[in-house]
């Protein structure tokens, strides 16, 4: 395991960022992207906390890429709070082969929702960013202040630029219109409802599927992109959802907030763990001709810890829960 060095950061008066007004249990709460990995976890977290007036809508009913559709939806429904979890996401392969789709779709989604939240007097909005917004060679662990201090990772810069634009949009509305839009930067996520498509998924769900299928077919080895040396941090998505609900009730500052565990693991160690969880008996092979991406990426979580929140789910336990969900929903080569 690679453990992030604990660092003491000095912020202003943290209490200035905290709020006493919490979401009313009957408030109308719109979760954009409720079918996805993050959105579905936020819905679970809200329901667990007793929120009863959740607003969800499918893409077939309201296409978030369409300005008029989003404007009509907000004008009709008038949500009190918004969790903006809708996004086009994917791994290295997807980002590298479809950068135009990633920048266009994410810009449109966040612009349409944030602008119409303002037009319809939404009380507070939480925007889901990503740790990929930080420079490729940012000092580790990555502090919030590292934003825009260096070049981005080339394999996902289109997605990162779209997310940076979303952050700046929230901050601009806060500055100009005195809104309360907050932005959070989660580390690599995994859990139920993840994307297990080998062409578009992130590394952890892709490895779960690879090892599962290799076990079923009794393949002699599993090949993994890269050298296995990059260090990544992984956060169970229900922990992220818990943090988002916590921050919606306790935070209203424009300063972005990292969310994660503060603990890193190499891809080789991750693969070994997933091999153990899935029960695969073959070998692991790495393909160094394929890209590694950023060498090390771990969020500095000092700030959110200082606000009273910490991650709870152990990585091994989280992978076990994710694999159980995968097995329950994966039939004949497809998720059902």
Enumerate the active-site residues.
Answer: 159
36 carries a ligand binding annotation: yes
Edge-to-edge strand ranges of the sheet holding 263-266: 2-3, 263-266, 231-232, 296-297
**Annotated binding residue at 308?**
no
Residue 12 labeled ligand binder: no
Is 254 annotated as a binding-site member?
no
Q: Which two tokens stand for residue 249?
A: 């009730």
Residue 179 Cα to chain centre, angstroms: 23
Q: What is the DSSP letter of 142?
A: B
- Alpha-carbon dihedral of residues 282, 322, 313, 259, nearest 10 degrees? 110
The 3-state DSSP class for residue 228 equals coil
Consult the annotation and say whether 55 binds a ligand.
Answer: no
**Is 292 annotated for ligand binding?**
yes
34 carries a ligand binding annotation: yes
CA angle 129-66-74, nearest 5°? Answer: 75
Asked whether residue 163 is marked as a ligand-binding residue, the answer is yes
197 is in an annotated binding site: no
What DSSP line would sit under 149-179, residue for residue?
A: SSPPPGGGHHHHHHHHHHHHHHHHHHHHH--
Binding site: which residues?
Answer: 33-39, 128-131, 163, 186-189, 202, 210, 225, 232, 292
* Known binding residues for NADP(+): 33-39, 128-131, 163, 186-189, 202
Which residues are annotated binding-site positions for substrate?
210, 225, 232, 292
């Amino acid at each position: 395991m690679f453990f992030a060095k604990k660092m003491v950061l000095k912020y202003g008066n943290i209490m200035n960022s905290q709020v006493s007004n919490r979401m009313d249990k009957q408030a109308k709460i719109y979760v954009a992207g409720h079918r996805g990995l993050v959105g579905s976890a936020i819905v679970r977290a809200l329901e667990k906390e007793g929120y009863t007036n959740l607003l969800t809508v499918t893409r077939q009913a309201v296409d978030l890429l369409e300005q008029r559709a989003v404007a009509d939806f907000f004008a009709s429904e008038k949500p009190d709070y918004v969790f903006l979890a809708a996004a086009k996401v994917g791994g290295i392969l997807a980002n590298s082969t479809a950068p135009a789709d990633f920048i266009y779709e994410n810009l449109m989604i966040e612009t349409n929702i944030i602008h119409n939240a303002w037009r319809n007097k939404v009380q507070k909005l939480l925007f889901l960013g990503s740790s990929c917004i930080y420079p490729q060679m940012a000092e580790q662990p990555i502090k919030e202040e590292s934003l825009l201090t260096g070049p981005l990772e080339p394999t996902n810069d289109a997605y990162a630029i779209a997310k940076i634009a979303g952050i700046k949009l929230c901050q601009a509305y806060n500055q100009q219109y005195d809104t309360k839009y907050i932005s959070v930067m989660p580390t690599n996520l995994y859990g139920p409802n993840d994307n297990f498509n080998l062409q578009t998924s992130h590394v952890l769900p892709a490895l779960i599927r690879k090892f599962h299928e290799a076990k079923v077919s009794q393949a002699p080895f599993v090949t993994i992109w890269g050298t296995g040396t990059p260090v990544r941090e992984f956060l169970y998505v229900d922990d992220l959802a818990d943090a988002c609900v916590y921050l919606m009730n306790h935070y209203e500052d424009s300063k972005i907030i990292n969310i994660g565990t503060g603990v890193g693991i190499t891809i080789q160690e991750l693969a070994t763990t997933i091999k153990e969880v899935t029960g695969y008996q073959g070998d692991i092979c790495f393909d160094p001709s394929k890209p590694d991406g950023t060498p090390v990426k771990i969020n500095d979580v000092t700030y959110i810890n200082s606000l009273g929140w910490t991650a709870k789910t152990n990585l091994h336990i989280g992978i076990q829960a994710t694999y159980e969900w995968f097995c329950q929903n994966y039939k004949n080569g497809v998720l059902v």
